[in-house]
Structures are given as structure tokens and as C-alpha cells.
Chains A and B, each alone.
Chain A
Amino acid sequence: MVNSVASLNRLRGRWSLPALVVLVALVGAFVVWTRQGDDPAPVSTRDAVIDVPESPDSDRTVQIDTTLYLPERTPAPAVLLPHGFGGSKASVAAQATELAQRGFVVLAYSARGFGRSTGQIALNSLDHEVRDAQKLLDWLATREEVVTDGGGDPKVGVTGGSYGGALALSLAGVDPRVDTIAPVITWNDLGQALLPNSASTDDVAGATPSPGAFADDGVFKRSWAGIFFSAGLSGADTANPGQEASEPGQDDDAGSNLDSAATAATTPPQQQGDDPRPAGPVNGACGRFQADVCAAYTEVATTGKAGPETLEILRRASPSAVTDKITQPTLLVQGEQDTLFGLDQADANAREIAANNAKVKVVWYSGGHDGGSPGPELRGQIADWMAFHLEGKGADPGTTFEYTVVGAFRSSGAPSLRNVVAPSYPGLDGSTGAERRDIGLSGREQVVVNPAGGNPAAVSSLPGLGSALTRSSSLASRLSLDLPGQAAVFQSEPQTAQTLLTGASTVKLRVAPVPGQAVPPEGAVLFVKLYDADGSGVRTLPGSAVAPVRVALPADGTPVDVTVTLPGAVRPVEADHRLQLVVSTTDMAYANAEEPAAYRISLASPALSVPVVAGVNATSEVPTEALWGIAIVLAVCVITGVVAWFRRRLTADVDPDLEAVPLVIEGLTKSYPGGLTAVKDLSFRVEHGQVLGLLGPNGAGKTTTLRMLMGLIRPSDGGIRVFGHRVSPGAPVLSRIGSFVEGSGFLPHLSGAENLRLYWAATGRPPEQAHMEEALEIAGLGNAVQRRVRTYSQGMRQRLAIAQAMLGLPDLLVLDEPTNGLDPPQIHQMREVLRRYAAAGRTVLVSSHLLAEVEQTCSHVVVMHKGKLVAAGPVDEIATGGGEASFRVDRPDEAATVLRSLSGVHDVHVDGEQVHASLNGTPRASALQALVAAGVAVDQAGPRWRLEDAFLELVGGE
């Protein structure tokens, strides 16, 4: 039965792992289920082709290919979603779906000259693309799904990136029906974006953080312009950032949200057929560009200069022509990694729009044309903007200024980002300007040489490739290379504290031709950049951006002082870092000067003016949720501990009447799930000074009873009281019990003496109570007591274990089969020990399956079988069984007759040579005398061994 109990427990143990697996699976399923619960709302789409006039006064039409995304609930406000350069309506499908899921009717369309729309690209011309968009507004106003402000006036916002963003601005400028706009990474003045000149001889109006110099006669941004133009030719989407920019608190792989949003649309974008071949007329080398645009590009690309016609085309393509009419709330999103449309473009838009008392909010995010499109959080912010300004839903996004600070790499692989929020974009509409700090630069006058043909050229950025390097934007910013002889370097002292550079710094430079050298008629072309150099000399070019300048030099060789506005950037310049200003003659990304030349460069003023916009971190540096989680977990643990402590305190249970009784067992039952009952309704008591034998065959439930006595197993029913105290696991009264149950338990790597010493130390009782010497003498292991227990024989361990049980001279000594494994002399000694120990005022409980063992050792006996009590009482009494006696005689029948005649004697029966009788008080001597008197020869007389009978019967019955 012991084995079956053990196997049952193993079975239960075996279930715990599957149970754990099931638990884990359930948790996983719950997580998946809860995540599926917030499935995005369904979005349906309608494709339509809308005809628009080819030009304002033309009767020819251009077909605009559109897709209308309808939210779950209509009518709803509309969002017009133009695409980026080189893209089509398919390239904004994901964002359109996302906005439709937010509850807007979204109209995505391919601009003329792109995708399946016909017509020719006129670069967001006010006469062409902007009028197309107005026609789309007319069309939206007729749709019943769209909320209108009045007849022909839909409630509509416009958002779009790059080319689409410029359209949003221009459309808002010409059409008051537009209610709000959110242009993203776009331009203010295309002429300045493609032909920038950052040098001005006057002071720059520096109220805003990132103003551009916007001087005339700029340096052609050759690489980007080429990429732009070829995107128009081929329809390839190379001009737009491919990946999303990282956002604060975002994992390295969270960028796939937009893809999943795209697949959630009922019409997947790929099914809309994004035919790479231009559908419209192909105009030779000009592709789908309008002829005048093509001619303008050809002029700039070949000469590096823009003539008046080209400038006019660029002006018509620029929102700056109409920004003075924009009064709608405007959210300007610009990228910090953008060498095409820098922060100065957004700055100009912000200034011009705010001048109309319009509501302007500016956001600088970590991406851009070199860094990636807006991530999910920023797209959500744009949607929030639309929701507030079209429907009045949600919190007012306000007119705060937000920018992202890119820090070092993190364990997740992406660089760390934090968003900083300032109360407003400084310097708008007469407000207080951005704070500017002067940082001293030093460096003597240096001569820089422009190589003939402008080759080799310094490297600052890799236009078009930048988005491929999004994930390692700081890597991209380290690609920069200056060529010796072509660059003048001015450097600051190491910073004493961090300076968070926010916007465009300015510096005054003095440029002079080298005497005797020819002065180029088109002026000196120089590229100015500001590096952040750390303590070990590693330089980082924030935003990979350079400021190209063209300085007209007088022929007489007099120096010219110019104020150079550096590219807008956000860069925390750490303590111990230096700022390094480099003036170079060449740059790969620009049309360099062809003529060989040499210039003397020096600082006109040693002060570098650095803008700083104070704000608070929007990304909670303190991860509140996690901290709350930690607090909750700790609180739960503390509460659990306190509750468990109180429950333990309430379990004490004492019966004062039984305080003198070593052991009382009442109705003790132990049954296991599955119906197995190891001990059933067992009751007996052990009095002081007894040596009680618990007798029963193997599997009778003896060991289970003793384990319950030690608090190792919980009874199913009934209870055990030791000296009046109910036994529960760890009950203090157990300290009065010394036990040896089912084998020894020692640490094999320690010696016998160490084991006993550490065991006693573990009980926490004073060492002098242990009586270690006496106990070790009982074990009698001699010198072996210093050997490791793993070298001991079974008998030695047994003796050591009994010695351990005797440590502290327990009031109740419980020994389970103590003589197993001992040889006969040792068994004899053991009996002696137990008898004398009880005689010394202690109580001993011994279990055994051997009758002789119990007979010879014990004063009292409890017989168990199959978990039940069979008999209990003094050994003698049980053995003599109420005065029953046996006589071995020569004439049994005669003896029986004699015995029956004695008064009180009854129940006489013959069993072979033996006669058994219940004497019932009659002394055995009297009966014997009567038998002898009757002439019966008595061979043997004694008590009848009922104990043995009973026991054999039980064992036989197994």
C-alpha cells in the first residue's frame, strides 16, 4: 500500500507539468483572443475615374484615377489624401485605410501624370494639379457619404507627404472649402529647396528656431533633383522615404503595423493594378513631365543655374505663392533627416501661415526623405488633428511645438528617441523668439581649394539611399567625408554641459579670394557643415545636412563677410563634445563649381549662434505603466504574505485535558483521490512511559500514520493530538517528538557528526539541549562518525538516524522499523535502549511488522491491518486475551471435561493435543491444579497467544 501511495503521488506529480502546459496555452490563447478583440473596423472602397479639365481654359480633360475609402459609419468628414512624387493612389492605400478606420471618408487619387491618371506632371502647379484637387472637392461635396458645411462645401481636411503635402498647402491657399491641412515633409519654396543658398550678407531674421537664409542664386541640389526628375519619368517611387521612421517607445520591428492595416482593406492595393508603365502620352526624354517643367529641369541640370522662366515655374509650384491666404488650422510635420526639404521649409510655411493668424502646430519627427515616413504614432497624431478640426472630437491638439531627439542605440537595436514638447513654435507671429546661445569657435584663417571640375567631392549624404539607412541614421550621419585641402575647420572648446541644438545655427564667415588667383564670376561656392565631435574624435553630422552657399566676391580681392545659416537639426551635444564647423569647397550632392579656385576662410565673428528650444519630454522617461505593474506585483506579494501569516496564527488548537498524554489519535483517516484509503478511522492513545508497538503487515498504514503524526501528510479526517496540541504541518509541539520514519535522511557530502550538528543547528534550539555526545554514543559509530555519510552502510545510517531522533531527548520518540538492517546483537541493544529510555520518563512509539519484535520490546501494542485498528492494549493483556489459557495435555478430552467443571470457566474447546479455555478470573495455577488432581498429565500451560493468531490470520489474509 505504501508503494501504491507513492505511485499515486507520482501520478499527481506527473499531472502538474501537463497542467502547467495547459495553463500556458490558456494564457497564450487569452492574449491572442484579447488582441483579436480590437480588430480594426471594416473599410470598403469604391474606385472612380473623375474627369478634370486639362488646363483652366481647355475643353480637353484629364482622367483622375481615384479610390474612395468608406468607413463603417457614414456620413463622415472627408480627408483628401494626395500621394508623394513618383507614387500613385496605391502608395497611400495603407494610410487611407488607416484613416478610414478612424472614421473618415478618404479620397486617394493618382495625381495627373502618375499611376493610371492621364495628363502631364506640372509640379503641383496652381493652374493644374491644384485645380484638379478643387474638382475632387466638388465631387466629394456631391457624395452622400460626406458631411458638408453647405452646398458644394464638403467638410474636408487634406494631408499628404512631400509632393502631396505641397498640394495640401497650395489647395488650402486657393480654396477656403478646405477645413484643415496636415502637410508632411514638404516644401515652402521649391526654388529654395532645389537651389538653396544659405549665405546672406544681412542678418537673418532669427526669431524662429530654423529659419532659412533663402538667398537668391543658390547652388543646385543635383542629386536630389535628378532623383526627383527620374521618379517622374519612370513612376518609380524612389523620391519618397520607403520605411517608417522610428518613434519613441517603439520596438525595432513595430513598423509593420501599416502593412497589416493595408491588408485589412477590402481591396488590397496590389489588386488595384499599379501599372508601372505610364498610361499617359510619353514625351520622349521628358517622360510624363509637362514640356515647360522638362525644359526648366534641363536648364538647371545642365547649367546649374535657374533662369527667370525656371524660377517662375518653381514659384508656381510652391505653396509660398499662396501661404498668405492660408487661414485653416495647419499641422506642419517635417523630418529631421531630410536633405531635400529641410526644417527651414517648414519654418517658412509656419511663419507665413501664422502671419494670417491661423492656428499652426509644428512637429519635427526623426524621419524625413532620408529617414523614413511617419510612424504609426505620428500618423495617429495626424488623424487626431483631423478628428479635432473636422469633427471636434478628442482633445485639442493645440499649437505646441514637438520635436524628436535621437539618442544613442538601445538594447532593442533601434536608437533611443524622445519627444520634446515646447509650448509653441517660437517666433511665430511676434511671439518670443527661440533662445540662442553663443558658442565660441576658434581657428586661424585657412585656405581651401576648389578642384577643377569639382571632383573629387566631399560626401555628406547619400540622397535616395538615406531611407535604406533609416535604421542606422547615426551610421548615415557618419558617412560624411571631408577632403584634405578642400576643407577649413573651426572648432569649439569641449562643452561643459549638454546643449540641445534645436534648429538652425548661424555663423559669420569671412571669405576672400587668394591673392593672385582668379575670382570665379559666379561667386565662390562653399559648403558649410556643423559636426558634433565626441571626446575620442568621432564626428557626427546631424541630419547629414550641409548648407551650400554662393558668395559673390569682388574682383579686387577684398574679403566678404556673410552670415551662414546652417541646416536645421536637432542634436543633443553632450558634455565633452566639441562643435566643429567645416567649410568645404565641394559636395557630392550638389553641382560643384567647375573652375579651379582657392579661397581664404576665416571666422568673421567667433560666435556660433545655436538655437535652443526648451521643452518637456513627452516620452515619459519614467515608464509609469511598468512601475505601476511592479508596485502592484509587490503589493500582491505582501498582501498574500500577511494573509497567510494571519491564517497560520489562527490554526493553534489545544486540549488542556490531554496535556499529559503523549499521543491521542482520533478517527484518523487518510484517503487519496481515486478511492484509495491508506488509514481508516484509526483511534488509539499512548500514555506516558509506554513503549507502544504499532504492529501490522507491510502496507497496513503504519508509516502513513507516523507521517501524519509528524505533520508530513495531512489527514483527510480525524486528528492527532500530541500532549494535547493538535498536530499540523510545522506545529511547535513537534519539537517534543524525535522521529525516525522510513529510512534515514542525511546529506551525503557531510560526515555523520556534521550531519547531526547541522540538523540540530537547523532546529534553532540551544546546542546544550542536544545531548549530542550521548546520542553519538548510542549510534556507536566510533571513528566512522567523521567519515562522509555516503560511505556508510545501511546499518550505520540506521543507527545514525536513530541517534538523530534521540537528539534533544524528545518526550515522544517515534521509530519506524528501527531494527531493519541491524544484526541480532544490535537489535538486542536497541530493545534495551528503548525500554530504558521509556523507563527514564519518556514515551516510545515503535512500528514493526515483526510480532517478536513488538513482544520483546513493547509494553503496549496497537495492531493495524489495511488501515484499520484490529486490537490495542498492553502486550500481556492482548496476549492473554481476557484470561484465555492453553494446556498441552496427554488426554485432551478428559482435560476439557475437568476444565468445564470449574466455576467461571467457559468456552472450552479441544485443538489436537491442546485444550483452550477462557478462565475468566480463575487463576491459571488453580486450573492447572485441578487438571493434575484429575490425573491429566500437563505438558505445558500458558496464555493463549491470541496476538499471534490474530496477526497470522491477518498476514495470511493478505
Chain B
Amino acid sequence: MSENGVHTDPAAISDLTDAAAAEHSSVAPDGSKVGYRAGRTLPVRVELMRQLRRRRTQLVLGFLVLLPVILVVAFELGQASPNRRAGGFVDLATASGVNFVILTLFVSGSFLLPMIVALFFGDTIASEASWSSLKYLLAAPIPRHRLLRRKALASGLMSVFALALLPAVALGVGVVWYGAGEAVSPTGEAASFGAGVYGVALAVVYISIHLFWVAGLALYLSVSTDAPLGAVGGAVLASIVSQILDQITALEGLRDYLPTHYALAWADLLSSDVDWSQMAKGTFSALAFGSFFTLLAARKFARKDITS
């Protein structure tokens, strides 16, 4: 035990006991100390501060800033064919800043974005459990439903921020490198820069809604295990399995029930005559899965014995 300078000054004890003797405990009708209000516990600001100072969060956000730059470098290193007007998403990426954003969303949509959402939601409760800090938060007391809600809200804010950060940085990088020209869709339709940005913004909104199912599943796993990696990995794994099954065309209509089936429906926003049906189905699917898992998580967390 070599704790330099770690000792309690005898005067400190007097200070404490004096303070204790001086302060008359006043109690509210619900039995709580005056000053405590369940509705004020765990402000989102505090939870965000707790999470944003984590190296992991900072690395993820940093990577999202870096990814568009990596893509630009890749395009610059590769065979340059500037301002192509035909081809798929990848061929069109250098047509304009908006096209570059679309490519960025397209390449990150299947794995990176679900993983980020799974990370923020899967880690939130499980990491507190692994640090043993969960019990102190609950004994503070922060009501369980409120703790879950606030943490989910903070994770949601961080996820939305991350989901908006990537296209925002990509747009900045894209405009610098490829200009604020017209967005060209794979079908050859051209949209003005403003309309393209609007479409991309709606796409981000759709992606945010669609990933709700990942959030719900990760939250459920987060309250089910004390291992943060298990919760995050489980949700990512579910997403991958769903995508694999979606590749099997023999499943036909059954694939509509897969949570990832409508993951790329936002591409419909890129055409001039927007067809909302796929996105509406995707929204329904995501809300149904997400709500199911979220309610399951709330139920489990409310009844769980906290033993960590």
C-alpha cells in the first residue's frame, strides 16, 4: 500500500461531522431528501459528458471525420475520371459533392452505421455494469425506467450526431474536391445542388429511423449482459445475419420481414419523383422491430436484479 499522501486529515473528520451536525435533514413528502426530484436525475447533458469523454466515442467520431478524406484519397490515387455522368453510385461519386455524399452513405450503410448505432446503444448500460457504477446510479436513486430512457436518449443523440456528421463532413470534403455541381443519379436524372442536399438530408433522417431496430436490439442486449462487447457484437451480428439472409433470393417474400431489407430504400429519394412506399415499409419495419426490442429491454431492466 504505497499511496503517497493518501491520508485523512483529522480535521477533515471534524469538518464533515460539523457539516452533518449543522445540516438538518429536511424530507419531502415522498420520503426523499429535499432537493431530490426523480424528474431531475441524470440530465442528458451529464450523460453526454460521461460518454463523450470516453476515448472510444472520440475515436468513432474522429473516424467518421476521417472516412470521407480516406475515400477522397482513394479516388485521387485511383484512375481519375472526373465528372462522369453515367454509371453506378461508385462511378458517379466524383460527379459532384452531393454524389460523393451518396457514395459515402452507400458504402457505410451496410456495416459502419449499424455498428456505430450498436456501439452507442449496446455499450450504454453494459459498460456501466462492467464498471460497477450502475448500482450507484440506481441507488442515487435514478429510477430504472428513467435511467434507461435518458441513456437511450443520450445514445440516440450521439448516434444521430454521428449519422449527420459523416454526410456533413463528406459534403464539405466533396464540395471542396468535386464542386457544388448537380447531383446525378444512376438513372441519369440530374438534380440541382440544393435539391441534392435536401435529398441527402432526408436520406439521413430515413437512415436514422431505419437503424432504430439496431438501437432497440443493442439496448436489449445491453440490459441483458454485463459485457459491453457482447451487446455491441450481438447487435452487429444480427445485422450481418439479416443482410446475408436478404441475399438469398429463394426466400422471396419472407425477406420483407428481415429488418435490413429496406436498409437502402433511401436511394428512392434521389429521383425526382420520389416513391415513398419502400421507405414507409422500411420505417414500419424498423419501428416495429425497434419498439419490440426497446419495450423488451425496458421490461427486462425494470425487473432485473442488479448484481454487478
Closest approach, in angstroms, between the C-beta of A658 and any C-beta of chain B?
11
Chain A stretch 677-735: residues in CB contact (< 8 A) with chain B: 707, 710-714, 722-725, 729-735
Residue from B4, B265, B283 whose CB has the most chain A CB atoms within 10 Å = B283
Chain B stretch 205-255: residues in CB contact (< 8 A) with chain A: 224-226, 234, 249, 252-254
- The answer on a CB contact under 8 Å between B16 and A778 is yes
Given contacts A13-B224, A630-B284, A637-B291, contact A736 B20 (CB under 8 A): no
Q: Which A residues are CB-close (under 8 A) to B264?
A: 411
Q: Which B residues are CB-close (under 8 A) to A784?
A: 3-6
Q: How far apart sit A251 and B258, CA to CA, in the bound complex (Å)?
A: 15
A741 touches B (CB below 8 Å)? yes
- The answer on a CB contact under 8 Å between B13 and A735 is no
Closest approach, in angstroms, between the C-beta of B247 and any C-beta of chain A?
12
Given contacts A534-B190, A749-B55, contact A9 B49 (CB under 8 A): no
Q: Which B residues are CB-close (under 8 A) to A778?
A: 8, 12-13, 16
Report which of A746, A808, A833, A841 forms a contact with B131, defined as CB distance below 8 A. A746
Q: How far apart sit A735 and B190, CA to CA, in the bound complex (Å)?
A: 61
Q: Which A residues are CB-close (under 8 A) to B276?
A: 621-623
Known: A730-B38, A809-B19. 5 other contacts (CB 8 A): A723-B31, A745-B136, A761-B43, A793-B2, A841-B21
- The answer on a CB contact under 8 Å between B9 and A777 is yes
Q: How far apart sit A839 and B19, CA to CA, in the bound complex (Å)?
A: 12
Q: Which B residues are CB-close (under 8 A) to A644?
A: 145, 298, 302
Given contacts A408-B185, A745-B134, A771-B16, contact A825 B3 (CB under 8 A): no
- The answer on a CB contact under 8 Å between A777 and B5 is no
- Chain A residue nearest in CB terms to B136: A745
- The answer on a CB contact under 8 Å between A750 and B53 is yes
Report which of A407, A737, A743 forms a contact with B271, defined as CB distance below 8 A. A407
Q: Which B residues are CB-close (under 8 A) to A416?
A: 268, 271, 273, 275
Q: How far apart sit A773 and B41, CA to CA, in the bound complex (Å)?
A: 22
A799 touches B (CB below 8 Å)? yes
Which residues in B have some Cβ–Cβ distance to A below 8 Å?
1-21, 23, 25, 27-28, 30-33, 35-43, 46-47, 49-50, 53-55, 85, 128, 131-146, 184-190, 224-226, 234, 249, 252-254, 256-257, 264-268, 271-273, 275-278, 280-281, 283-284, 287-288, 291, 294-295, 298, 302-303, 305-307
Q: Which B residues are CB-close (under 8 A) to A462?
A: none
A444 touches B (CB below 8 Å)? no
Given contacts A411-B268, A713-B305, A714-B303, contact A724 B291 (CB under 8 A): no
Report which of B27, B128, B225, B256 forms a contact with A13, defined as CB distance below 8 A. B225
Segment among A87-95, A326-334, A762-770, A923-931 that sits at the interface with chain B: A762-770
Q: Which A residues are CB-close (under 8 A) to B5?
A: 782-784
- The answer on a CB contact under 8 Å between A739 and B6 is no
Report which of B18, B27, B38 forms a contact with A736, defined as CB distance below 8 A. B27
Report which of A626, A725, A761, A783 forms a contact with B277, defined as CB distance below 8 A. A626
- Chain A residue nearest in CB terms to B303: A714
Report which of B6, B140, B305 forms a contact with A780, defined as CB distance below 8 A. B6
Given contacts A761-B46, A783-B5, A793-B3, contact A734 B20 (CB under 8 A): no
Q: Which A residues are CB-close (under 8 A) to B284?
A: 626-627, 629-630, 633
Interface residues as binary, A617-638 with B (CB distance below 8 Å gives 1, 0 otherwise): 0000111001101100110110
Question: Would you list 16 pairs from A and B whose C-beta atoms are within 8 A, ordered by A residue?
Answer: A32-B254, A407-B271, A712-B139, A712-B307, A730-B145, A732-B141, A734-B139, A735-B141, A736-B32, A762-B43, A764-B42, A765-B40, A793-B3, A799-B6, A809-B19, A811-B33
Given contacts A778-B8, A780-B12, contact A733 B306 (CB under 8 A): no
- Chain A residue nearest in CB terms to B225: A13
- The answer on a CB contact under 8 Å between A640 and B144 is no
Q: How far apart sit A404 and B186, CA to CA, in the bound complex (Å)?
A: 22
Given contacts A749-B53, A764-B36, A765-B33, contact A796 B141 (CB under 8 A): no
Q: How far apart sit A796 and B139, CA to CA, in the bound complex (Å)?
A: 22
- The answer on a CB contact under 8 Å between B278 and A764 is no
Closest approach, in angstroms, between the C-beta of B102 and any C-beta of chain A?
12
- Chain A residue nearest in CB terms to B267: A411
- The answer on a CB contact under 8 Å between A732 and B295 is no
Q: Which B residues are CB-close (under 8 A) to A249?
A: 277
Given contacts A9-B305, A774-B16, A795-B6, contact A769 B31 (CB under 8 A): no
Chain A stretch 803-838: residues in CB contact (< 8 A) with chain B: 804, 806, 808-809, 811, 823, 825-826, 829, 832-833, 836-837
Q: How far apart sit A623 and B265, CA to CA, in the bound complex (Å)?
A: 14
- The answer on a CB contact under 8 Å between B142 and A729 is no
Q: How far apart sit A535 and B288, CA to CA, in the bound complex (Å)?
A: 41
- The answer on a CB contact under 8 Å between A745 and B135 is yes
- The answer on a CB contact under 8 Å between B20 and A841 is yes
A6 touches B (CB below 8 Å)? yes
- The answer on a CB contact under 8 Å between A842 and B7 is no
A536 touches B (CB below 8 Å)? yes
Closest approach, in angstroms, between the C-beta of A738 and any C-beta of chain B?
9
Given contacts A411-B265, A732-B141, A746-B131, contact A758 B49 (CB under 8 A): yes
A357 touches B (CB below 8 Å)? no
Closest approach, in angstroms, between the C-beta of B131 and any C-beta of chain A?
6
Q: How far apart sit A750 and B131, CA to CA, in the bound complex (Å)?
A: 12
Closest approach, in angstroms, between the C-beta of B49 and any C-beta of chain A?
6
- The answer on a CB contact under 8 Å between A633 and B137 is no
- The answer on a CB contact under 8 Å between B280 and A723 is no
Q: Enumerate the 8 nearest inter-chain pairs by beta-carbon distance, A residue then B residue, closest first.
A: A764-B40, A745-B132, A730-B143, A732-B32, A777-B12, A733-B31, A745-B133, A725-B31
- The answer on a CB contact under 8 Å between B142 and A763 is yes
A139 touches B (CB below 8 Å)? no
A648 touches B (CB below 8 Å)? yes
Q: Which B residues are CB-close (under 8 A) to A793?
A: 1-3
Q: Which B residues are CB-close (under 8 A) to A381?
A: none
Closest approach, in angstroms, between the C-beta of B3 and any C-beta of chain A?
6
A748 touches B (CB below 8 Å)? yes
A253 touches B (CB below 8 Å)? yes
Closest approach, in angstroms, between the C-beta of B189 and any C-beta of chain A?
6
Q: Which B residues are CB-close (under 8 A) to A736?
A: 25, 27, 31-33
- The answer on a CB contact under 8 Å between A732 and B271 is no
- The answer on a CB contact under 8 Å between A637 and B295 is yes
Q: Which B residues are CB-close (under 8 A) to A536?
A: 85, 184, 188, 190
- The answer on a CB contact under 8 Å between B190 and A833 is no
Chain A stretch 244-302: residues in CB contact (< 8 A) with chain B: 249, 251, 253-254, 256
- The answer on a CB contact under 8 Å between B9 and A780 is yes
- The answer on a CB contact under 8 Å between B36 and A735 is yes
Q: How far apart sit A742 and B133, CA to CA, in the bound complex (Å)?
A: 11
Residue from A637, A722, A743 whose CB has the most chain B CB atoms within 10 Å = A637
- The answer on a CB contact under 8 Å between B3 and A836 is no
Report which of A5, A724, A735, A799 forms a contact with B307, defined as CB distance below 8 A. A5
Q: Which A residues are CB-close (under 8 A) to B38?
A: 730, 732
- The answer on a CB contact under 8 Å between A780 and B7 is yes
Closest approach, in angstroms, between the C-beta of A37 and any C-beta of chain B?
14
Q: How far apart sit A371 and B23, CA to CA, in the bound complex (Å)?
A: 86
Closest approach, in angstroms, between the C-beta of A811 and any C-beta of chain B?
5
Q: How far apart sit A285 and B210, CA to CA, in the bound complex (Å)?
A: 63
Q: How far apart sit A17 and B120, CA to CA, in the bound complex (Å)?
A: 21
- The answer on a CB contact under 8 Å between A775 and B43 is no
Q: Which A residues are CB-close (under 8 A) to B54?
A: 749
A538 touches B (CB below 8 Å)? yes
Closest approach, in angstroms, between the C-beta of A623 and any C-beta of chain B?
4
Q: How far apart sit A774 and B254, CA to CA, in the bound complex (Å)?
A: 63
- The answer on a CB contact under 8 Å between A737 and B139 is yes
Q: Which A residues are CB-close (under 8 A) to B145?
A: 644, 648, 730
Q: Which B residues are CB-close (under 8 A) to A5?
A: 307
- The answer on a CB contact under 8 Å between A623 and B277 is yes
Given contacts A784-B6, A840-B20, contact A711 B12 (CB under 8 A): no
- Chain A residue nearest in CB terms to B302: A729
- The answer on a CB contact under 8 Å between B273 and A572 is yes
Q: Which A residues are CB-close (under 8 A) to B50?
A: 747, 750, 758, 762
Q: Which B residues are CB-close (under 8 A) to A442?
A: none
Chain A stretch 595-654: residues in CB contact (< 8 A) with chain B: 621-623, 626-627, 629-630, 633-634, 636-637, 640, 644, 648, 652, 654
